[in-house]
């Protein structure tokens, strides 16, 4: 299986997940995650050659709905829950960079 998770791995993953960790937290999480992953290494011993992954416990397929409009939410109600609103839109600080 994979190598032991490193502090750099945790820092990288925190960035991907938009979490900011202090140095102490980085150290603590690295240790804890390594322990959990080490425990999970036992699945490596299983022979899974040719075994299909299960994404769903259910054998459902083709669940579709008709292309018929349903009522939308009241805009004011939704915007009332928003942290910041302007001109009926959700306001956010400047976005650096384009979508990845």
Partner 1 sequence: MSESDWELVVGLEVHVELATATKIFCGCRNQFGDEPNTNICPVCLGLPGSLPVLNHQAVELAMRIGLALNCHVEPSIFHRKNYFYPDMPKDYQVSQYDEPINLDGSLELPDGTTIGIERAHLEEDTGKSTHVGGGGRIHDAGYSLVDYNRAGVPLVEIVSRPDIRSAEHARAYVNELRAILLATGASDAKMEEGSMRVDANVSVHKPGDPYGTRCEIKNLNSTRSLGRAIEYEMRRQIDLLETGERIVQETRHWNEDDGRTHTLRSKEEAYDYRYFPEPDLVPIAPDAAWQAAVRTALPVLPAARRVRLAAACGVTPAEAGVVVERDLDGFVLDAIAAGGVPARLLVHAENNLADGAGQLDVGAFAALTTLEADGALTATQAKTVLGELVASGGDPAAIAAAKGFEAMDDSALAAVVDELIAANPEPFARFKEGDQKVTGFFVGQVMKATQGKADGKVVTRLLHERAAGS
Partner 2 sequence: MNRALETAAAVRSGERSAVDVVEEHLARIAEREGDIHAFNVVLADEARAAAAAVDDAVRAGRDPGPLAGVPIALKDNLCTLGIPTTCSSKILEGWRPPYDATVVARLTAAGAVSVGKTNLDEFAMGSSTENSAFGPTRNPHDLTRVPGGSSGGSAAAVAAGFAPLSLGSDTGGSIRQPAALCGVVGVKPTYGLVSRYGLVAFASSLDQIGPFAATVADAALLLEVIAGHDPMDSTSIDQPAPSLVDVLAQGVEGLRIGVLHELLDAEGIAPDVRRRTEAAADALSAAGAKVDEASVPAATYGLSAYYLIAPAEASSNLARYDGVRYGLRVDASNTGDMNEASRTAGFGAEVKRRIMLGTYALSAGYYDAYYGKAQQVRTLIIRDFKAAYEQFDLLLSPTSPTTAFALGAKTDDPLTMYLNDVCTIPTNLAGDPAMSVPFGVGDDGLPVGVQLLAPALGEATMFRAAAVLEEAMA
Contacts of 27 (CB under 8 A, 6+ apart): 7
Task: Kindly state whether residue 84 participates in binding partner 2, applying the rule CB under 8 A.
Answer: yes
Cα 64 to its chain centre, rounded Å, is 26
Q: What's the farthest any 2 CA atoms get from each other in the chain?
A: 58
Give, for 85, the enclosing helix (H) or strand (E).
strand 85-86
- Candidates 1-9, 31-39, 43-51, 66-74 — which segment interacts with partner 1 by CB under 8 A? 66-74
Nearer to partner 1, 39 or 56 (CB): 56
Task: Kindly state whether residue 88 participates in binding partner 1, applying the rule CB under 8 A.
Answer: yes
Residue ranges that bind partner 1, judged by CB under 8 A = 16, 18, 55-56, 58, 60-73, 75, 78-79, 86-100
């Amino acid at each position: 299986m994979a190598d032991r998770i490193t502090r750099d791995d945790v820092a990288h993953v925190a960035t991907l997940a938009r979490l900011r960790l202090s140095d102490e937290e980085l150290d603590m999480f690295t240790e804890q995650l390594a322990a959990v992953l080490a425990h999970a290494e036992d699945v490596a011993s299983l022979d899974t050659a040719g075994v299909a992954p299960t994404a769903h416990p259910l054998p459902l397929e083709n669940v579709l709905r008709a292309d018929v409009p349903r009522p939308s939410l009241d805009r004011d109600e939704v915007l009332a829950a928003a942290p910041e609103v302007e001109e009926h839109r959700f306001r956010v600080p400047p976005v650096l960079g384009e979508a990845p």
